[in-house]
Copies of this chain bind each other. A is one copy, B any other.
Amino acid sequence: MEVNWTRKDLLSLYDLTPEEIVLILDTAEEFKKVSERNLKKVPALRGKTVVNFFVEPSTRTRVSFELAEQRLSADIINMTASSSSLQKGETLLDTVRNIEALQADLIVMRHSCAGAQNFIAKNISSGVINAGDGAHGHPTQALLDLFTIRQKKGRIAGLNVSIVGDILHSRVARSDIWGLIKLGANVTLAGPSTLVPRDFEQIGARVCHNLKDAMVGADVINLLRIQHERQRAGFFPSTNEYARFFGLNKENARYLKPDAMIMHPGPINRDVELDSALADGPQSVILEQVTNGLAVRMAVLFLVAGCLKK
């Protein structure tokens, strides 16, 4: 069955059909080859303007998008909250309507409020790509995770994928869960009960509060980053305590299948959620995730740009 991309925005994996997700992954396969060439560039977005509007700061995602845009030959404008008129009291919608009035084709946007991009996308004709909205979603991160799993394991359906850490506050986890379930994986979530509430069982994930349960039988284990900077409210006693109970280390690694794949969205807190040697070991695909992120973002930019009116 031929699938066509018909969305001017990429807001959430929750909105997409499995076929649409697979179309992005297939398109990314093609773009991955571009980054492996000597001349890492195609003219697909030449003469198009992409505005990277990061109301919440970011480096890894911003740089990955910016490189993806350059390799598609787009014109690029970078805006941050501090460099926008938001600081002068302009409403978010006015700021974005101004960007639209400059005939920006695409806006790649990160915002600390869940749903900000949905609101914006409804109100402007430019395409909107969600680069992270609060704790809600981070669809391109989930897509690069799906891409990496599919490339390494040959499939996603039927795999046992465990996600460990602060699921409650993680937009990465939320997007991963939606994507994995849509493509037929069995998802297990593990972490302290304060951070992994039972509610997630309602969307089809298995919840456990014990690392070993998440490791045994897993084809893939994805360790989330403990975000010290968000850890105001004391959801766990200390980083040491977290590492002891939910950190993957050389000792408890024996519960993993020999071919289990270790993932991490980065940046790593070495020896907190993940032992340093394991992060650099043969089971780790962490740097491949970074490489694949570029290909996936090129695919998303390309597909979305193809659905714009002009």
Do A59 and B85 have beta carbons less than 8 Å apart?
yes
Do A89 and B228 have beta carbons less than 8 Å apart?
yes
Interface string of A67-110 (1 = CB under 8 A from B): 10011000111010001110011110011011111110000000
Do B294 and A102 have beta carbons less than 8 Å apart?
yes
CB contact under 8 A between A294 and B84, given known A39-B46, A47-B39: no
A15 adjacent to chain B (CB < 8 Å): no
CB contact under 8 A between A77 and B66, given known A48-B40, A60-B98, A290-B101: yes
| Chain B residues, CB < 8 A from A84 | 59
A89 and B269 CA atoms in complex are apart in Å by 7
A268 adjacent to chain B (CB < 8 Å): yes
A251 adjacent to chain B (CB < 8 Å): no
Do A67 and B75 have beta carbons less than 8 Å apart?
yes
CB contact under 8 A between A63 and B266, given known A41-B46, A41-B75, A287-B97: no
Nearest B residue to A269 by beta-carbon distance? B89
Question: How many copies of this chain?
Answer: 3
Nearest B residue to A266 by beta-carbon distance? B98
| Chain B residues, CB < 8 A from A64 | 102
CB contact under 8 A between A79 and B103, given known A47-B38, A268-B94, A290-B98: no
Do A268 and B49 have beta carbons less than 8 Å apart?
no
| Chain B residues, CB < 8 A from A77 | 63, 66-67, 70
A199 adjacent to chain B (CB < 8 Å): no
Would you mind naming 18 contact pairs between A and B with Cβ atoms under 8 Å apart? A39-B46, A40-B47, A41-B46, A41-B47, A59-B83, A60-B98, A63-B77, A63-B102, A66-B77, A67-B77, A89-B269, A90-B268, A94-B268, A94-B270, A95-B267, A98-B267, A101-B290, A103-B291
Beyond known contacts A49-B70, A60-B98: 17 more, CB 8 A cutoff: A36-B103, A38-B310, A39-B46, A41-B47, A59-B84, A59-B85, A63-B77, A64-B102, A67-B77, A67-B102, A70-B76, A85-B267, A88-B267, A89-B269, A91-B270, A101-B290, A102-B290
